[in-house]
């Protein structure tokens, strides 16, 4: 998977996990959902994504390899 797919998968997972925790534990877990959404929104305008930097340090390819 390329970096864009990883970011989408991680963001979606965080959102689903935080909604589940809000349902089962405490509504304050929705703050995590808001944080993920705010990061996605700001990255759309600025091009800066903290998760992209983390994944790059872990060696995830930015673009898919051509077959």
User: Nearest 5°: phi and psi at 6?
Assistant: -60, -45
Structure confidence at residue 1 (pLDDT) = 84
User: Nearest 5°: phi and psi at 61?
Assistant: -70, 140
Structure confidence at residue 67 (pLDDT) = 57
Structure confidence at residue 49 (pLDDT) = 92
- pTM: predicted TM-score of the whole model, two decimal places: 0.83
Q: Which domain holds residue 29?
A: 3-57
How far apart are the C-alpha atoms of 29 and 54, rounded to whole Å? 23
- Binned average pLDDT, 10 residues per bin, the chain of 67 residues: 92 96 97 96 94 92 73
Would residue 62 count as lying in a domain? Answer: no
Q: How many domains does the chain have?
A: 1
Would residue 35 count as lying in a domain? Answer: yes
Structure confidence at residue 33 (pLDDT) = 96
Structure confidence at residue 22 (pLDDT) = 97
Q: Which helix (H) or strand (E) holds 46?
A: helix 30-46
Would residue 32 count as lying in a domain? Answer: yes
Would residue 63 count as lying in a domain? Answer: no
């Amino acid at each position: 998977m390329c970096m864009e797919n990883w970011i989408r998968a991680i963001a979606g997972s965080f959102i689903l996990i935080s909604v589940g925790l809000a349902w089962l534990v405490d509504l304050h877990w929705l703050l995590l959902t808001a944080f993920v959404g705010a990061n996605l929104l700001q990255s759309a305008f600025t091009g800066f994504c903290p998760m992209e930097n983390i994944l790059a340090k872990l060696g995830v390819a930015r673009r898919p390899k051509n077959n």
